[in-house]
Amino acid sequence: MVWFTVDLRVVDILWSFLASCFLLAFCAHKALSRYETCRLYMFFQDLIRYGKTKHLRRDDWLRTFDVPKRWFWHFYAVSLCWNGLLLALYLNFIFQQQSHPSWLTGILDILSGLPSTVSHVPQLSTLLVQLLLWVHSLRRLLECLFVSVFSDGAMHLVQYVFGLGYYIVLGLTVLCSDHLGKGTGALFSQLDWFHVAGVALFTGASLLQHQSMVLLARLRTGKSGTVETLAHRVPRGGLFELVSCPHYFSELLIYVSLSLVFGGLSLTWWIVVLYVLFSQALAAQLCHDFYISKYESYPKHRKAYIPFVL
């Protein structure tokens, strides 16, 4: 097996920057809590919090940048359309031997450059990751629309714009693994153990995330499925018995599974995994802190994010 090289491209630098920002934000949140009366700290907290964790004292002008958290479904709708388009273009690229549109080729050239060597990532890996990303977006969209019960929580306008752009860049990142379409051999002859293992882990992590979303929704619905309250309650059952945010942990597992589908050959995707690790860790820590501050009897053995670790 040939492993990735260490040459950093624009797409690698971009994801490294984002991962570093969220790592710094996580460290800053943990270290600077004693400055909670400082206006700069309040602005920082307003940028990183959303939903139930956003209920903190802040200046009125900051509230002008609030948008409803229930708009999360916009992210997955955009992802479903955009990554569905990229998937269709890549299928056409592989089976019809037709070049990508010039606008897409131009973007991929900027993000990944023009490598002089053939990509070591199998085309089947790129196709599967793009397909699984589309499936993930479809599931999350359906959960937002038909499972989750959103309160009147808010998120920052910056978070909203970032979320819309996130899945656009993510889909392009997948195609950067084989943007010249050189691949390695006939498509279905490329099938290997890591494709099967990656899809299996993706399926298990997706089921875990769905179970977590259902358990969260049941905190606000009755046996008939109708909404009875929008109040926050202590989640129980499933992996909630070990961590406060299993839905964030399962998100990390989903991205690890996609790296496995790449056979561990994509340095870029490992950097994406680092970004997800840090960004979800920050969100999970904020939720964990909220539960601890709101409920005196909150289980002390629960971690925030990763069972028995963090």
Closest CA to 47 of 142, 202, 125, 162: 162
**In this structure, are residues 286 and 48 in contact, taking their beta carbons and an 8 Å threshold?**
yes
* CA gyration radius, the chain: 21
pLDDT of residue 57: 74
Task: State mean pLDDT over 113-134.
Answer: 80
pLDDT, one tens digit per residue, over 50-77 is: 988 987 777 778 888 999 999 999 999 9
**In this structure, are residues 273 and 259 in contact, taking their beta carbons and an 8 Å threshold?**
yes
**Has residue 7 got a pLDDT over 70?**
no
Label residue 117 by pLDDT band (50, 70, 90): very low
Q: Alpha-carbon distance 95 to 75, whole Å?
A: 30
pLDDT, one tens digit per residue, over 132-156 is: 999 999 999 999 999 999 988 899 9
Strands 154-156 and 66-68, sheet pairing: antiparallel
pLDDT, one tens digit per residue, over 239-254 is: 999 999 999 999 999 9
For the chain, percent of residues with pLDDT exceeding 70: 92
pLDDT, one tens digit per residue, over 184-200 is: 557 788 899 999 999 99
Distances (CA, A) of 291 to 118, 147, 151, 300: 50, 22, 16, 11
pLDDT of residue 184: 53
**Domains of the chain by residue range:** 10-294
HSE toward the beta carbon, residue 48, CA cutoff 13 A: 26
For residue 67, report the phi and psi dihedrals to the nearest 5 degrees.
Answer: -130, 155
Lowest mean pLDDT among 21-25, 56-60, 180-184, 220-224: 180-184
Q: Which residue has the tokens 């479809």?
A: 138
**Has residue 266 got a pLDDT over 50?**
yes
This prediction has a pTM of 0.92
HSE toward the beta carbon, residue 196, CA cutoff 13 A: 5
| Dihedral sign (CA 253, 77, 160, 130) | positive
- Of the segments 15-29, 31-45, 47-61, 185-199, which one has the largest average pLDDT value? 15-29
Q: Alpha-carbon distance 49 to 286, whole Å?
A: 7
Label residue 2 by pLDDT band (50, 70, 90): very low
pLDDT of residue 116: 42
pLDDT of residue 5: 46
Angle between helices 246-261 and 267-294 (to 10 degrees): 170
Task: Find the length of the chain.
Answer: 310
